[in-house]
A and B are shown apart, each in its own frame.
Chain A
Amino acid sequence: MGEKVNPSRRSLIGWGGAGLALGAAVAGGAVAMAEAGGDADPVAADTGGAVPFHGAHQAGIATPVQDRLHFAAFDVKTDDRAEFVQLLKDWTAAARRMTAGKAVGEGAYGGLAEAPPDDTGEALGLKPSRLTLTIGFGPSLFGKFGLDGQRPAALVDLPGFPGDNLDAARTGGDLCVQACADDPQVAVHAIRNLARIGFGKVAIRWSQLGFGKTSSTTPDAQTPRNLMGFKDGTRNIAGTETDRLKKFVWSADGDGPAWMSGGSYLVARRIRMNIETWDRTSLQEQEDVFGRDKGEGAPVGKAKEHDAPFLKAMKPDAHVRLAHPDSNGGITILRRGYSFTDGTDGLGRLDAGLFFLAYMRDVRKGFIPLQRRLSASDALNEYIQHVGSAVFAVPPGVRDTDDWWGRALFSGSAKSSESAESAEGA
């Protein structure tokens, strides 16, 4: 990473030669991070800079969590493999431009008066805002395009968990794109333009906006609070913890099909919170449910948020106690969720909660055992309900300008059929 730094949509110092100064600063930061061995991007949130799109892993996983989210799940609408491959290439090209702060295609203005502009234009004048775009492939995709032999064993269909109340219209998807940025308009612009490029080939199945990060992948940062007012996921994997990333997040050679090496698995769950009943719950019970104090976020009996918790001091069904790696044979996942509020539900209650996003090396060894345990016993269950669910295989990063999302998957499998297609096209 860091080998190529694109100019920002509107860098602080403007276009032209001065832009190189910013580029140099970014490149320098990248070197520092490379030494630290992490995949975290070097750009601080307040510069509004660009996160490199190219790398061994996709950005948007170990990247320090941005403030805003627009997540979209898509259904494939074409059965033409060549057409779908072209879409992945077109999407990659658009993502490369947008994450660098540039407009899609030939831009949002100045083209033919008779044609709609390529770019929709609402991000003009905005900074790159650390936009990351991360693609994932759902289990159902592997039933199409002759990909059945390529489905990783680690990409299992999630089992039903006690208490699930999944809405089919917010569940599943052949593929997904996670757009994270510090400016919500930049994230929405990205999904909107990808959806537009995709019309006829893919259609949005469902999407979710998130407005407040609920986890941090930056070691010393304060853990953000969720909508229940608590800090959760304090001991998350940091973007700089190369060893833990390797152990718990990145799919390694030999884990599964070769095309997934350097990739990861993503579980998305829309978790509705019964906000009103929670708000009527006594402080004592709220703290018991989590196993932390509300003010500092310190584990029961401790003084500071990051103090090591003494799990046995907590109630047996306390959320932290049940979710902690020490209670789960060391199971660790990288959490990257966001709070959401989609207005109210028609009964005068907030339609709000946590859009849970977690990356892991193997869904069978990560989310599933963890959620089995939580869904069975977590005291929090009285106040939450899982209403949407999806799981995706997240391929490795796009290496360079010749590479594209999913290349290894689509070039590695059914090689003969692809050469047949190119012969047809010639």
Chain B
Amino acid sequence: MRAVRLTVTAATAVAALTALSACTAKSDAKGDDAIQVTAADSKCETSTKSVPAGHVTLAIENKGSKATEVEILFPDDRIVSEKENIGPGTKYTLTAEVKAGSYEIACRPGMKGHGVRQKLTVTGGTVAKRDPKLDAAVAAYREYAQEQADATIPKVETFVKAIKAGDIDAAKDAYAPSRVGWETTEPIAESFGDIDPKTDTRVNDLEKGQKWTGWHALEKALWVDRKAGAEQQALADELLADLTDWQKRVGKAEITPTSMANGAKELLDEVATGKVTGEEDRYSHTDLSDFKANVDGAQKAYELLKPVAQKNDAALAAELDKQFAALDTLLDKYRTDKTSDGFVSYDTVTEAQRKELSDAVNALAEPLSKLAAAVVK
């Protein structure tokens, strides 16, 4: 992970130079009503902690040595408005429309991580009541989703690189790992509507006239046609571009405690309808890798909601703990070896074993369908 971070920082330093000139025109921070935000490498100072609802202006100055990112955030960390890539020594004016409520202003030096936060109270009008525990759960889940997306990009890059090198075996090895982050948080990706059809469509789900792109088109090319030519290279580039788009949008996804709970259930639906049947990865038979990622993502959402769910329905939480553990134990039996993330090819899993997996999925999915109600009640 450390190596990855260094790479990103180096890249942004280059970008910062460009930003420096590009943003000069907009750098005149105006007026008295603007909130002055002074960002540095380890601090984030704001001139006021309270503003009236309506049009808000942030006059940002980066006094640090790294490029930074400044955001106005809802209590659950959803981004209201943001400016990325503010270079050292540059200024920028960010505007937003805000309703009454509690917000945070975040400076993320190096454009990574939790950043330095300042409270911002927006006054006037009625403030919708929020549950801090649930806001914290959603914020932590968004952070998890962002980490999953961030970790996916280099794995997809490895996949793309292998295809471009015409190395079919290396591309096949990189295929399943490139999907893990996506599969853990698939309901968020699907909530954007336009990305999933481009990246994760199976051939029988294509609409008339729709071009087949994404992972599964490449899966067929690699496993069935054994091809990594110009057409596949173009598809690989497109996949990386679409996934980079996804990575950038996670912060703005609408996530609620209910959608988290339902998302967990939907991940199990994915397993029940696509993975247990072997339909998802029908050429590569790497279904169990996706299966595990779906379950992990559902478990993460559940764990974050568990403090609330446990208070409202202790028996349900106990049942979910038990069934997640049972399914994890069952899946572990299919690992190629104990230390790796790899799973056996799904075409070696017998009908009786698939039935056992399906029973374990049903055993978990049924109580999981009751999580949303336990969270809101």
Known: A200-B319, A200-B323, A203-B359. A114 touches B366 (CB 8 A): no
Contact between B373 and A115, CB atoms less than 8 A apart: yes
Contact between A200 and B370, CB atoms less than 8 A apart: no
What is the bound-complex CA distance between A75 and B365, given in angstroms?
18
B129 interfacial contact with A, CB 8 Å: no
Contact between A77 and B363, CB atoms less than 8 A apart: yes
Contact of B366 among A112, A169, A199 (CB under 8 A): A199
Per-residue 0/1 for B366-377: is the Cβ within 8 Å of any A Cβ (1 yes, 0 no)? 110110110111
Q: How far is the CB of A13 from chain B (nearest CB, A)?
A: 36
What is the bound-complex CA distance between A415 and B299, given in angstroms?
38
Q: Which residues of A contact B370 (CB under 8 A)?
A: 115-116
Contact between B372 and A115, CB atoms less than 8 A apart: yes
What is the bound-complex CA distance between A196 and B370, given in angstroms?
13
Per-residue 0/1 for B347-370: is the Cβ within 8 Å of any A Cβ (1 yes, 0 no)? 000010000000100111111011
B46 interfacial contact with A, CB 8 Å: no
What is the bound-complex CA distance between A112 and B369, given in angstroms?
12
Known: A112-B377, A114-B258. A199 touches B362 (CB 8 A): yes
Near A by CB (< 8 A), chain B positions 236-263 give 258, 261-262
Near B by CB (< 8 A), chain A positions 60-118 give 75, 77, 112, 114-116
What is the bound-complex CA distance between A114 and B370, given in angstroms?
8
Per-residue 0/1 for A110-144: is the Cβ within 8 Å of any B Cβ (1 yes, 0 no)? 00101110000000000000000000000000000
Per-residue 0/1 for A191-209: is the Cβ within 8 Å of any B Cβ (1 yes, 0 no)? 0000010011001000000
Contact between A196 and B366, CB atoms less than 8 A apart: yes
Q: Which residues of B contact A203 (CB under 8 A)?
A: 359, 362-363
Q: Which residues of A contact B362 (CB under 8 A)?
A: 199-200, 203
Q: Count of B residues near A, CB < 8 Å? A: 20
Contact of B373 among A112, A196, A200 (CB under 8 A): A112
Inter-chain CB contacts under 8 Å: number:
36
Near B by CB (< 8 A), chain A positions 235-275 give none
Near B by CB (< 8 A), chain A positions 140-187 give 169
Q: Which residues of A contact B262 (CB under 8 A)?
A: 114
Near A by CB (< 8 A), chain B positions 125-182 give none
Q: Count of A residues near B, CB < 8 Å? A: 11
What is the bound-complex CA distance between A42 and B364, given in angstroms?
42
Contact of A77 among B359, B372, B376 (CB under 8 A): B359
What is the bound-complex CA distance between A112 and B312, given in angstroms?
14
Contact between B369 and A116, CB atoms less than 8 A apart: yes
Contact between A114 and B363, CB atoms less than 8 A apart: no
Per-residue 0/1 for B318-337: is the Cβ within 8 Å of any A Cβ (1 yes, 0 no)? 01000100000000000000
Q: How far is the CB of B183 from chain A (nearest CB, A)?
A: 23
Contact of A114 among B351, B367, B372 (CB under 8 A): B372
Q: Which residues of B contact A199 (CB under 8 A)?
A: 362-363, 365-367
Contact of A200 among B363, B375, B376 (CB under 8 A): B363
Contact between A200 and B367, CB atoms less than 8 A apart: yes
Q: Nearest chain-A residue to B351 (Cβ)?
A: A169
What is the bound-complex CA distance between A116 and B363, given in angstroms?
15
Highest count of chain A CB atoms <10 Å: which of B262, B323, B363: B363
What is the bound-complex CA distance between A200 and B360, given in angstroms?
7
Q: Which residues of A contact B376 (CB under 8 A)?
A: 112, 114
What is the bound-complex CA distance between A75 and B362, given in angstroms?
14
Q: Which residues of B contact A114 (CB under 8 A)?
A: 258, 261-262, 372-373, 375-376
A-B contact pairs, 6 of them (CB 8 A): A112-B376, A114-B261, A115-B370, A199-B365, A200-B362, A200-B363
Query: What residues of chain A have their CB less than 8 Å away from a CB belonging to chain B?
Result: 75, 77, 112, 114-116, 169, 196, 199-200, 203
Query: What residues of chain B have their CB less than 8 Å away from a CB belonging to chain A?
Result: 258, 261-262, 319, 323, 351, 359, 362-367, 369-370, 372-373, 375-377
**List of 7 A-B pairs having minimum Cβ-Cβ separation, nearest first:** A115-B373, A200-B363, A199-B366, A203-B359, A114-B372, A114-B373, A199-B362
